[in-house]
Structure 1
Amino acid sequence: MGNVWQFFQPPLYWQQFEELCAGLLTEVYGVPNAQQVGRPGQAQNGVDVFGTSARHGRIGIQCKRLSDLDENNNPYPGGPITRALLRDAADDALSFVPDLKLWILATTARRDTKVQGWVEELNNEWEQMGRKRIAIVWTWDECISHLNSYPELQRRYYRDVIQVGSPKDIDEIILRTIAMAFARPAFEVPLHCETPSEFFHALKDTQKALRTGELVDRESRQVIRKAIGGYRELDDDLARTGLGDVDKHLKLLRTQLEQGLKDGTIVTVGTCLDIRQPDLARYLDELRQRCLDDLNNVLRYAGIPTV
């Protein structure tokens, strides 16, 4: 493939990623009949996109958009690539009819040498079993390369989508989204003035934005901004490490509040929190301030306005 000269955001939703994979299959492998398989929720036997290439035979793609976490901060189906996920997806695709010559696991995750090793291991096993099928993985790095090689795909799928010129631009989008998540009353109003339910909602929303890049509106609960991913997707090592500390402190703050409500050291009085131990109140305030201080250090480092 040619040099990568343009970076692209992964599609925000899995439906868009499937559509993009159908376009990639058409262009990259010359598959004129590439199509999505079934309807959402139907059993698809490990294949979301299917088509036949004159040169390569029948090809199936399993599409995994990987950034999103559920309300418990666990990956949605298709979460981070593990050896077990790869194996399960490959086994599912074995029952797809008609049989495939090439099976592709397409993901929005970045290239990982561990995953490449697992794919090689899988292909060796299939060869020893006499199975005439090959597995490959399209990470988002491969998708970017294909997009740069086929301008028609750029025009078709990215005409109205933000394009960015470098990893630094991607980092800025992620950091600005996370900064917006912290610019809310939960990190401004004194703890004893907070409404417990709203405060916990705010902490949960902020954790989600930090870890996934998805920010929801406080009132409507609708997604109002979604970046490429959470802090783990940052290209800059120092920024990623700094926000990792924010994530740890935020998790500890939430855990301490939940424990206090459970053991009675924190109680609800009317619509406010009553923290009955002064030392605990100071500690919680310090944790909250530490989150902001660490975040603002990263924002200053990146040249972005602080919260």
Structure 2
Amino acid sequence: MGNVGQFFQPPLYWQEFEELCSGLLTEVYDVPNAQQVGRPGQAQYGVDVFGKSPRFGRIGIQCKRLSDLDKNNNPYPGGPITRKFLRDAADEALGFKPDLDMWILATTARRDIKVQGWVEEINEEWEQAGRNRVAIVWTWDECISHLNSYPELQCRYYRDVIQVRAPKDLDDIILRTIAMAFARPAFEVPLHCETSSDFLNALKDTQKALRTGELVDRESRQVIRKAIGGYRELDDAFVRKGLGQIDAHLKLLRKQLEQGRKDGTIASVGDFLDIRQPALARYLDELRQRCLDDLNYILRHAGIPSD
């Protein structure tokens, strides 16, 4: 099922932009302790927002909301971000303590290839100097992408824009995330086209999205979308019950697959899944199809387009 992203205007005030960057840092890099440095606008060594990620280490963000807007109220591409400004800001952030593993310049300017090139210059110089640090620029385009991946942030910062005013609106966000979780090869291609480990991981990821609303990328393991809770948070009791049944089907699929790998009835031959008992293969395929059929029925009930 396709998904059309929402466009968001930059915050009107720099205080709001700093608060948004703190929320983005929390969700995008799994930083539970993201916080603004000092009072809003009171940066320390070019860092306005700071936090520590279990995976990426210490991260600092300098927030720069640009005031130069075009006739459509959009920031000019690049705006006043010059090579000198970027380098000065990056150098200033070197003085922040504790040492950062990642420094991000977050800006309301639109994406600019020149700025991207300057960032690569800085990273190359830091690498040559033996600095264990990476520089990144979040333009407003990246911020929009992250907002579309994390509906909870949309609700928090753009409630009026996305018109989340009733439980049904929140149900819609959770259901669309769950639907995206099922749009993967494990539910689209013949079973024998997957390896047992890939299929099992896909089931785990899908079940995690169903239960928590958190969807991860198959290859990078990065969270690519995060809804406001899983199916148990849904207001619609009929939908909640139906998704609970799908959760049970996924649990049974995982159990059968793990048991088959243990007793040798399921194995990987090259890059393909080999189910050596035809009856078991039919059962697994029927169980998988039941998940899809039930999901599509639920989506139609909720007024969401389904495959």
User: TM-score, with normalisation over the residues of structure 2?
Assistant: 0.49
User: Could you say which structure has the greater relative contact order, defined with CA pairs below 8 angstroms and 6 or more residues apart?
Assistant: 1
